[in-house]
A and B are shown apart, each in its own frame.
Chain A
């Protein structure tokens, strides 16, 4: 084995168990790759000392035969997860150098199971965005090079303003880029409207947003509480299943987490899908959907049919209302969740002549433009006189969207297959500058899943004409993540893996 970063998570785990490799050398290989890839800006904080200490401890455990399910596996952690003693900023200036005294439930479960932390990953500020361009640490560059760019042009852009290089999606852009560029074996991510699935689709990686309540939200910086869910991004279906098992579980500290046994998701990988009913929702055939995405979708249908699944046409009639309703509910909750960043107790404080002035100056300086926009939208839709017209109606739509899915599942459908995104990755600085709604449309296929609280998995199924990854999305029944892993494995087997060009950024 020449390059340990080329292993999948499952392969690395097996190699560690058989003592073919050590956790320390595996971690060192990743730390070296991270150093080489700093131009991608995937990590906002590297924690090599911590990583090596954790790896050494894993080696001891492996030697004693006390290995946990993720023993010695180096992971990247989205900067939205509170990590004890390690700076956590949600990639916002308002948190400054905030260093929590506590560890999020999900990451503490990963460490419990033996994983190694490599560092904190970039994301859109407070997870608001679909391109990772709103981060206070600057954009992340996708390891997928723009089609037909020369090495010189790539080098110049990397050193310069990065315009035209591709976005890794968002908000979990650091996670998807790090996984695609082999800077970790897997990464934690979060998904409020598509922030796991869209970046996975843009980078040829596998991401799953589990059912709302499957993972604890405790210790994860909140964006929109009723929509936020933690989940993994990894390079294979199996790897994401292994990670989710450690991340999921009930937590008494999160009232919305569900007390339900966590299945062995990996066991579902490779399970037959014969006889499963897969729904194809006609409403996702949106106007202007590109021919190549449509073709990819059809290919996916054929692969599943070949594997013995039954394909049925289904209708989710309220789909078209999902995006506008989402952009009321999510900002409304965000406007309230972000009120705590007031300069009084932690993070940034810009002095003012009185308390109101201090609030205004602190929040004006601390929040970026996208976050400010959403706070304003959210404040507006909750205001007296507008609440019923916006928030209440959006909640009604949410109920209707949930019912759409319930009706389909009630009719015996096991999972739904859709495209993950309406297009492949776009260039940095190319979208949303003049019209933020243009950027919001990236989430058109993913937000319904958050609105309904269902599990959704995105995985690569092919390449665009320009050679960029294209993803499909599987939507499951509540808490039936296992079905998604089984079906996704069929697609992965048929479609193969998609790797970016050699490390052109190094």
Chain B
């Protein structure tokens, strides 16, 4: 898909440039009330082993029954990835022994996944876009959790997660840098959050990535890849790619070869470590799960879900650019989270889109960031911010005063218009009052006034002085006009 090599993305080695090739398997927890094949709750943070049904614990004679909501979520996600939806898919058993895998197999989809090829358009920081191919999406069960730190000689098992539905989303090897890898996961998470199919909460393990990394000389065939398992933050994904690519380059440049293996990323040490080699790889003995019939639905089922999909980030971005006259960057920032985009639209509706965007992105997001808050916990509502924008647009307050007003609303709350009136923050447009201040400033600085006649750049300094004199309430345009007339510029 990205056929031409972008020299900016190459990594410099001791012997020349290298291209890094990345493909990812994202494990995204399906947003659903109950598990993929049982009625147990999927709530995070319950007491250990409190969300476990007989099926999840693999008691003798228990049988899985598919949770239709998880199927719908997978189809919705597939539609969001503009992917082929398979009307018939098959659940397989992936067999291996581990204490947190009660059945001794994971129910997954191997040969016939529910979703086939699709694509994700990813915006990069420099404003460029890449298209990342999706190979497939399939449904599978999560495992439980082994707890090795609760007892000196024993390990405990918590099965709360056992059987929770995951979507494994496999990308094509279309990514060429750590930045692209990060941007891809971010975009995928945005799409799923818009769809409501995965909350994307990496702290709670709702989104984990297996990152496949290989390096090659530009133009060469693909190199041998290593799979870095279970990377659980977007930042670590970037670090893991960088670290692993450099490790591989160093080995090859020293005359060595890369062994295909599974590795773990250690963020504390900033290194990847071998977990198991290809020879030690499990033989999972996949075969169709005889407890489950093939999963079949008709096109009408898909169409029905499609008709209820929300507006997705790409479409929203395009609309913000067209309807509100926003530059691509601003529109991109706003649509990154659906709640942000919704907030922005409430502010922008019936107002100047660009001004609204500036206030939301620069003032609000900046301030929220400082407080460790986000739009959902913002002390300033969209209505309040809209009122501030209105007070600027109709000339009631100056831009500078607006910042003070914003800070008051942010920290103390209240109706912006009332605050302006009660605290005398209204912009002074009365030329008489302003003229008095202008005269006073000019009289106090006769030398500078003289210099300004030949150096018009000094006008700004005078405007500042007058604003100070008026407590920021003077209309800066009026001040500037008066100064020009009195100094004799024009």
By a beta-carbon cutoff of 8 Å, the part of chain A in contact with chain B is: 82, 88, 90, 95, 98, 100-102, 104, 217-222, 224-226, 252-256, 332-333, 335-336, 338-340, 342, 344-346, 355-356, 359, 379, 382-384, 387, 391
> Is B230 interfacial (CB 8 A cutoff)?
no
**Quick check: A384 and B60 within 8 Å, CB to CB?**
no
Q: Give the chain A neighbours of B59 by CB distance below 8 A.
A: 82, 100, 102, 346
Q: Which of A82, A252, A256, A336 is in CB contact (< 8 Å) with B60?
A: A82
Bound-state CA distance A346–B283 (Å) is 26
Bound-state CA distance A90–B59 (Å) is 13
**Quick check: A339 and B104 within 8 Å, CB to CB?**
yes
**Quick check: B60 and A387 within 8 Å, CB to CB?**
no
Which residue on B lies nearest to A385, using beta carbons?
A: B283
**Quick check: B291 and A339 within 8 Å, CB to CB?**
no
**Quick check: B287 and A336 within 8 Å, CB to CB?**
yes
Q: Which of A222, A255, A382 is in CB contact (< 8 Å) with B293?
A: A255
Q: Which of B57, B102, B290 is in CB contact (< 8 Å) with A224?
A: B290
**Quick check: B285 and A336 within 8 Å, CB to CB?**
yes
**Quick check: B61 and A82 within 8 Å, CB to CB?**
yes
Q: Give the chain B neighbours of A98 by CB distance below 8 A.
A: 60
Q: Give the chain A neighbours of B293 by CB distance below 8 A.
A: 255-256
> Is B54 interfacial (CB 8 A cutoff)?
yes
Q: Which of B58, B97, B286, B290 is in CB contact (< 8 Å) with A333?
A: B290
**Quick check: A225 and B93 within 8 Å, CB to CB?**
no
Which residue on A lies nearest to B60, using beta carbons?
A: A221
Most buried by A among B57, B155, B283: B283
> Is B251 interfacial (CB 8 A cutoff)?
no
Bound-state CA distance A372–B97 (Å) is 16
Bound-state CA distance A88–B61 (Å) is 11
A226, chain B: closest CB distance, angstroms: 4
**Quick check: A255 and B283 within 8 Å, CB to CB?**
no
Q: Give the chain A neighbours of B62 by CB distance below 8 A.
A: 218-219
- Given the known interface contacts A225-B290, A345-B102, the answer about A339 and B97 at a Cβ–Cβ threshold of 8 Å is yes
**Quick check: B57 and A221 within 8 Å, CB to CB?**
no
Bound-state CA distance A387–B283 (Å) is 11
- Given the known interface contacts A217-B61, A359-B97, the answer about A391 and B287 at a Cβ–Cβ threshold of 8 Å is yes
Which residue on A lies nearest to B96, using beta carbons?
A: A339
> Is B355 interfacial (CB 8 A cutoff)?
no
Chain A to chain B contacts (Cβ below 8 Å), 27 pairs: A82-B59, A82-B61, A100-B59, A102-B54, A102-B59, A104-B61, A217-B61, A222-B291, A225-B291, A254-B63, A255-B293, A335-B285, A336-B95, A339-B97, A339-B103, A340-B102, A340-B104, A342-B97, A344-B102, A345-B57, A355-B99, A355-B155, A356-B97, A382-B95, A382-B287, A383-B283, A391-B287
Q: Give the chain B neighbours of A220 by CB distance below 8 A.
A: 61
Q: Give the chain B neighbours of A384 by CB distance below 8 A.
A: 283, 285
0/1 string, B88-103, CB within 8 A of A gives 1: 0000010101010011
Bound-state CA distance A198–B380 (Å) is 78
Bound-state CA distance A225–B105 (Å) is 14
> Is B275 interfacial (CB 8 A cutoff)?
no
Q: Which of B60, B64, B105, B290 is in CB contact (< 8 Å) with A339?
A: B105
Q: Give the chain A neighbours of B291 by CB distance below 8 A.
A: 222, 225, 255-256
Q: How large is the interface on B (under 10, 10 to 19, 20 to 34, 35 or more residues)?
A: 20 to 34
Q: Give the chain B neighbours of A221 by CB distance below 8 A.
A: 60-61
**Quick check: A379 and B290 within 8 Å, CB to CB?**
no
- Given the known interface contacts A219-B61, A336-B104, the answer about A101 and B290 at a Cβ–Cβ threshold of 8 Å is no
Q: Give the chain A neighbours of B93 by CB distance below 8 A.
A: 336
**Quick check: A222 and B61 within 8 Å, CB to CB?**
yes
Q: Which of A100, A253, A340, A382 is in CB contact (< 8 Å) with B63?
A: A253
Bound-state CA distance A382–B64 (Å) is 22
**5 more A-B contacts (CB under 8 A) besides A336-B285, A339-B97, A339-B103?**
A102-B59, A342-B104, A344-B99, A345-B57, A379-B285
Interface of B is mostly: loop
> Is B66 interfacial (CB 8 A cutoff)?
yes
A438, chain B: closest CB distance, angstroms: 28
Bound-state CA distance A252–B104 (Å) is 24
Q: Give the chain B neighbours of A338 by CB distance below 8 A.
A: 104
Closest 3 CB pairs of A and B: A339-B104, A226-B290, A382-B285
Q: Give the chain B neighbours of A335 by CB distance below 8 A.
A: 95, 285
By a beta-carbon cutoff of 8 Å, the part of chain B in contact with chain A is: 54, 57-66, 93, 95, 97, 99, 102-105, 155, 157, 283, 285-287, 290-293
Q: Give the chain A neighbours of B61 by CB distance below 8 A.
A: 82, 100, 104, 217-222
Interface of A is mostly: loop
Which residue on B lies nearest to A221, using beta carbons?
A: B60
Which residue on A lies nearest to B289, using beta carbons?
A: A225
Q: Give the chain B neighbours of A387 by CB distance below 8 A.
A: 285-287
Bound-state CA distance A221–B59 (Å) is 9
Q: Give the chain B neighbours of A256 by CB distance below 8 A.
A: 290-293
Which residue on A lies nearest to B159, using beta carbons?
A: A345
Q: Give the chain A neighbours of B95 by CB distance below 8 A.
A: 335-336, 339, 382
B409, chain A: closest CB distance, angstroms: 55
Bound-state CA distance A339–B291 (Å) is 15
Bound-state CA distance A345–B58 (Å) is 9
Bound-state CA distance A391–B285 (Å) is 11
Bound-state CA distance A130–B257 (Å) is 55
Most buried by B among A90, A221, A252, A339: A339
**Quick check: A255 and B287 within 8 Å, CB to CB?**
no
A428, chain B: closest CB distance, angstroms: 28
B148, chain A: closest CB distance, angstroms: 11
B483, chain A: closest CB distance, angstroms: 82
A314, chain B: closest CB distance, angstroms: 29
A256, chain B: closest CB distance, angstroms: 6
A30, chain B: closest CB distance, angstroms: 26
Q: Give the chain B neighbours of A226 by CB distance below 8 A.
A: 290
Bound-state CA distance A336–B97 (Å) is 10
Q: Give the chain B neighbours of A102 by CB distance below 8 A.
A: 54, 59
**Quick check: A101 and B287 within 8 Å, CB to CB?**
no
- Given the known interface contacts A344-B157, A382-B95, the answer about A332 and B63 at a Cβ–Cβ threshold of 8 Å is no
Bound-state CA distance A271–B155 (Å) is 63
Bound-state CA distance A391–B287 (Å) is 9
- Given the known interface contacts A252-B65, A255-B65, the answer about A383 and B285 at a Cβ–Cβ threshold of 8 Å is yes
B140, chain A: closest CB distance, angstroms: 16
Bound-state CA distance A220–B60 (Å) is 7
Bound-state CA distance A344–B287 (Å) is 24
A352, chain B: closest CB distance, angstroms: 12
- Given the known interface contacts A102-B54, A217-B63, A344-B99, the answer about A336 and B105 at a Cβ–Cβ threshold of 8 Å is yes
Which residue on B lies nearest to A81, using beta carbons?
A: B61
Bound-state CA distance A412–B391 (Å) is 87
**Quick check: B97 and A100 within 8 Å, CB to CB?**
no
B293, chain A: closest CB distance, angstroms: 6
Bound-state CA distance A315–B290 (Å) is 29
Which residue on A lies nearest to B93, using beta carbons?
A: A336
A37, chain B: closest CB distance, angstroms: 28
B102, chain A: closest CB distance, angstroms: 6
A328, chain B: closest CB distance, angstroms: 11
Q: Give the chain A neighbours of B283 by CB distance below 8 A.
A: 383-384
Bound-state CA distance A379–B104 (Å) is 13
Q: Give the chain A neighbours of B102 by CB distance below 8 A.
A: 340, 344-345
Bound-state CA distance A256–B255 (Å) is 57
